[in-house]
Structure 1
Amino acid sequence: MKKSLLYTGFLLLSINIFGQETNDTILKNNTTNQEENLIDDEPKFKHSLGDLNIKLDDTGDRYLKFGLNSQVWLRSIENNPGTLVNGVEQKNTYDAGLRRMRVTMQAQLSPAYQIYVQLGINNQSFIAGGGSGTGANGQGKKPAIFFMDAYNELAIIPQKDFKTKQTNNFNLYLGAGLHGFNGISRMSNASTGKILMADMPIFNYPNIENSDQFARQLGIFARGEYDKFNYRFAVNKPFATNLQPQIGQTVDNNQSGKLSYSGYLMYNFFDKESGSTAFLPGFYLGTKKVVNVGVGFYSSKEGALSQPELGVYKSHDHSVLSADIFADLPVGIKSKEMAINLYSVFYRYNFGPNYLRNLGIMNPGTLDPNYPGTVAMEGVGNARNLLGTGNIWFTQVGFLLPKFSETVKLQPFASYTLKDLEGLNEQGSYYDIGANLFVFSQSAKISYQYSSRPLYDPVNKKQFDRKGEHILMFQLAF
């Protein structure tokens, strides 16, 4: 209770500090005639910090656009039973970490050709995400920067005709490289700089850091629009996995080297969303009237391996199907600038018999070999049953409160996840609740979130406990 009051007090203090009026001339948008060429073609927000654009010609058809995204986490973690942190038993851990640090560049070298690059780091904490050992290269220090996206794209049928400048009802773009044009769902194609919650649920990326590289694979993709439909399809070469299963276990193993196929089709009922990059925003703060439905898939032959009995191995296909709905709508009196945000998705995973995967984001814990009690089947630290063969239903909702400042907005949110997985004997419910404090609209954000997760007994595979986690996130993105 004291922790929750501490975080709430910090949010209220932030409102008081940032809620004062700011000189409009300092915060005026960096608006140019190339607004239609922004990376994700999203609307300008009042009092946003603008964009980092460099025009390469007078028409705005050739340009460089740069983006930055910094997400810093402060956490209080209620650890799973049997957890050691840096060799010391800890029931609760306080830490700070860099959840995401990103730099992006989009080079529109001609109306028909662009290059997109994103690099940075993820998940650096005091104990993980960097080097190993002690001293100058101690645990968590000096993480390696890597490319998350690196692809080229060619306009086959452009959104606007190069000569007449007329809009084409159907457009087609082809690209190749390391990319995030994923299938499955909207949330599998999410902009991490514009998410409603403090973080993704992560099961929206079913191959995360196994057969993909931070939700990206190497391959080719096609994307575009037809009337109110937005589509994206990809054929990729999954990153190699060769885990070996124990008896009765199914693990990621794609040694046969099969390709993966994915796609997502979305229909826009009202305002159309852009698909000019892989990333779809999680909110518009009521500046658009958006209601979309979508369906998606992912498939890869022989992506898993099981050992049903000693010395007997069997390959299994990876497949995921999904259906989802997204809405971001202004509500109430226009001058109050209120908005409601809703996203709901259903996933059907088939990764082989009783497949289960556990994960803890920036997990600080290791197993205490001398712990006398029950160690959860999820593992230690903040680990949870992430996904598995079976069904997952996820819903999140946010409400933008009435305007009380020219530069600050407050948005409470909540989410619920129901996991019905083949490898467990009881369904699991996961809860998240919190709020976003937007400063200068989406450019700067402070988020608080409390998450509650069930823990499962490794013998009867039913719930025996629950643990929680507090997250305070500071984000700057533009």
Structure 2
Amino acid sequence: MFKKIILLIGIVLCTFQYSYSQGSPDYTGGLKVKLNEDGSKYFRVISWAQFWAQYNDDVPDDVSKTNLSIRRARILLYSQINKDFLILTHFGLNSLNANNQSPTGLGESSQLFFHGVWVQYSLGANHAIGGGLHYWNGISRLNNQSTLNMMTLDNNRQSWATIGLSDQFARHIGIYAKGSFGKFQYQVAVNESLTNNLQEATDPVANGPAVYAGRRLLGSKDAGKNFAGYFEYNFMDKESNFLPYKVGTYLGGKKVFNVGAGFFYHPDGSVRANADGTLEGENVAIFAVDAFYDAPIGDNGSAITAYATYQNNDYGENFTLGQTYETGSMLYGHVGYVIPNADKKIKFQPYALLKTRSIDAIDDNATSFGIGANAYISGHNSKLTLEYQNTKYGDNDAQGLLTLQAMIYL
């Protein structure tokens, strides 16, 4: 095992040894092009890539235990002609690997698509409305997580609770409003729900579990819209809500303590079939409460990051899909510590995570724990992450997965 870990580290370091970038964990980096002298008219470009090397010992004999992939490759561009208008465009690809690559780069499952395209209009200094394919989500901080500055290797998967069910990769087409009243921040949205989702080929069976197919089977009039919101109070430093992407860790660069609550509601989003085959809609309702703390410890460069959330998921009676989306509840938390280091440029941050879920469909639980460490070469702009995560689902044997990530963003 130790030799394999060293091999993975070597692969990644060789791949990225000539890469370097500047920046901070907040959204003040990127390439900013001023269109006038005072910079009030501008456009900004942010680009990032995450490369994964994974080791999984629990695979069939003819399957490699070590795999390489591009977890994310993205470009985000936003611009303001003046303070009253903003347009944002975000495109890229996810999880590109040997099994979903196309010989000509035209494969539907692995190539570029728009992650977000929206326009926004300011309503004074602290409020705005907008519309498009947007990321102003409800539920929790993790459902609005930025993929640039996560503390853990990746986001908690069950927190992105609607991906491919009601939305396109965590983005809905809809309208939103966002803003703040002092240290209280809010975001709410009314969205269209996806028709051809992950269950487009699944129909409900008599007296069987719910299927997320409300818009497809019941029509857009009764099941076409969903509603979402997230609200939080900033007890210490106020975080920016200029963009929807929540920071995973500030590495002690801010002193933040936020408490939040959010929801997602899709009337008749799921469908069940009665004994006689009659279809009935079931409301999808998800809500969560969470808390986030990030602060320096003393003046020696150390810092702590902690997050905890409770989430209740009701996708309909006994709903389950791929051990990811399931009616039940979840407790999740993680904590990380930045180790004091005389070299202020390089930072090391070990962390741990724990998750437990109750699952109605199997009348049992799923538990996960993980340990990992980040090596920040230039803040979040250049970092390496090594994480081991172990998951046990119901009566199944526990499975472990070791992942090494190299990330660069400019």
Same fold (TM over 0.5): yes
- Alignment coverage as a number of residue pairs: 395
Q: Which residue of 2 aligns with 1:146?
A: 113
1:453–1:467 contact (8 Å) kept in structure 2: yes
Tell me how far apart the structure 1 counterparts of residues 262 and 242 of structure 2 sit (CA, whole Å). Answer: 18
Query: Which SS does the other structure have where 2:363 is aligned?
Result: coil
Equivalent in the alignment of 1:408: 346
The aligned residue for residue 366 of structure 1 is: none
Q: Deviations over 1:163-192 (max 9, x none)?
A: xxxxxxxx2100010000001001111111
Give the stretch that moved more between structures: 310-319 or 283-292.
310-319
1:184 equivalent to 2:129? Answer: no
Q: Which residue of 1 aligns with 2:179?
A: 224
Show the counterpart of 1:71. Answer: 50
Q: Provide the residue aligned with 2:314 in structure 1.
A: 350
For residues 40 and 105 of structure 2, the distance between their equivalents in structure 1, rounded to whole angstroms, comes to 47
Structure 1 segment 148-163 matched on structure 2, within 5 A: 148-158=115-125
Report the counterpart of residue 337 of structure 2 in structure 1: 399
Amino acid at match of 2:83: P
Contact 1:223 1:231 in 2 (8 A): yes
Contact 2:22-2:381 within 8 A present in 1 as well = no
Distance between the aligned counterparts of 2:21 and 2:330, measured in 1?
43
In the alignment, is the contact (CA less than 8 A) between 2:334 and 2:351 conserved in 1? yes
Q: 1:195 aligns with which of 150, 173, 191?
A: 150
Residue number in structure 2 paired with 1:474: 406
Where does 1:52-71 land on structure 2 (aligned, <5 Å)?
Answer: 52-71=31-50
Query: Post-superposition shift, 1:249?
Result: 2.3
1:463 to 387, 395, 403: 395
Which residue of 2 is the match for residue 444 of structure 1?
A: 382
Answer yes or no: is 1:277 the counterpart of 2:249: no
Residues 333-348 of structure 1: matches in 2 within 5 Å? 334=299, 336-348=300-312
Measured after TM superposition, the shift of residue 407 of structure 1 is: 2.2
Equivalent in 278, 290, 293 of residue 259 of structure 2: 293
Q: Which residue of the partner structure matches residue 205 of structure 1?
A: 160
Deviation for aligned residue 1:79: 4.0
> What residue is the counterpart of 1:245 in the other structure?
204
| Equivalent of residue 125 in structure 1, options 97, 101, 110 | 97
Segments ≥4 residues shifted beyond 4 Å? 7-11, 26-30, 137-142
Asked if the contact 2:295/2:304 (under 8 Å) is kept, the reply is yes
Contact kept, 8 Å, 1:7 with 1:448, in 2: the verdict is no
Q: Deviations over 1:263-315 (max 9, x none)?
A: 00010001000111110110101010000000000001111112354634322
Residue 330 (structure 1) aligned with residue 262 (structure 2) = no
Letter of the 1:268 counterpart: N
Distance 1:28 1:246, change over 3 A: closer
Shift of 1:9: 6.9
Q: How far has the Cα of 1:142 moved from its partner?
A: 8.9
Matched residue, 1:214: 169
Which letter does structure 1 place at the counterpart of 2:43?
Answer: L
Distance in 2 of aligned mates of 1:262 and 1:232: 8
Q: Is the 8 A contact 1:126 1:139 kept in 2?
A: no
Stretches of structure 2 lacking an aligned partner (at least 5 in a row): none
1:371-409 CA distances to partner (integer Å, 9 max, x unpaired)? xxxxxxxxxxxxxx2231110111011111111423211
Query: Do the aligned partners of 1:7 and 1:472 also contact (CA within 8 Å) in 2?
Result: no
Matched, 1:264 2:230: yes
Q: Distance in 1 between matches of 2:260 and 2:275?
A: 40
Q: Distance in 1 between matches of 2:359 and 2:22?
A: 50
Q: Report the secondary structure of 1:463's partner residue.
A: coil
Q: Secondary structure at the match of 1:188?
A: helix
Deviation at 1:441, TM superposition (A): 1.5
RMSD (Å), alpha carbons: 2.6
- Which residue is equivalent to 1:389? 327
- Give 2:54's aligned amino acid: R
CA contact (8 A) 1:126 1:141 kept: no
The residue number in structure 1 matching 2:214 is 254
1:338 & 1:429 partners in 2: Cα distance? 30
Tell me how far 1:254 sits from its aligned partner: 2.3
Contact 2:21–2:382 (8 Å) recurs in 1: no
SS in 2 for 1:465: coil
Is 1:424 matched with 2:390?
no
Q: Percent identity?
A: 27
CA contact (8 A) 2:355 2:368 kept: yes
| Distance in 1 separating the partners of 2:165 and 2:361 | 19
> Does the 8 Å CA contact 2:302/2:340 hold for their aligned counterparts?
yes
Structure 1 residue 211: Cα displacement: 1.9
Alignment counterpart, residue 94 of structure 1, candidates 48, 66, 74: 66
* C-alpha contact 2:21 2:409 (8 A) present in aligned 1: no
Asked whether the equivalents of residues 95 and 110 of structure 2 are also in contact (C-alpha less than 8 Å), the reply is no
Q: CA deviation at 1:118?
A: 0.4
Q: Secondary structure at the match of 1:252?
A: coil
Q: Distance in 2 between matches of 1:219 and 1:60?
A: 30
Q: 1:292 to 1:185 in 2, by over 3 A?
A: same
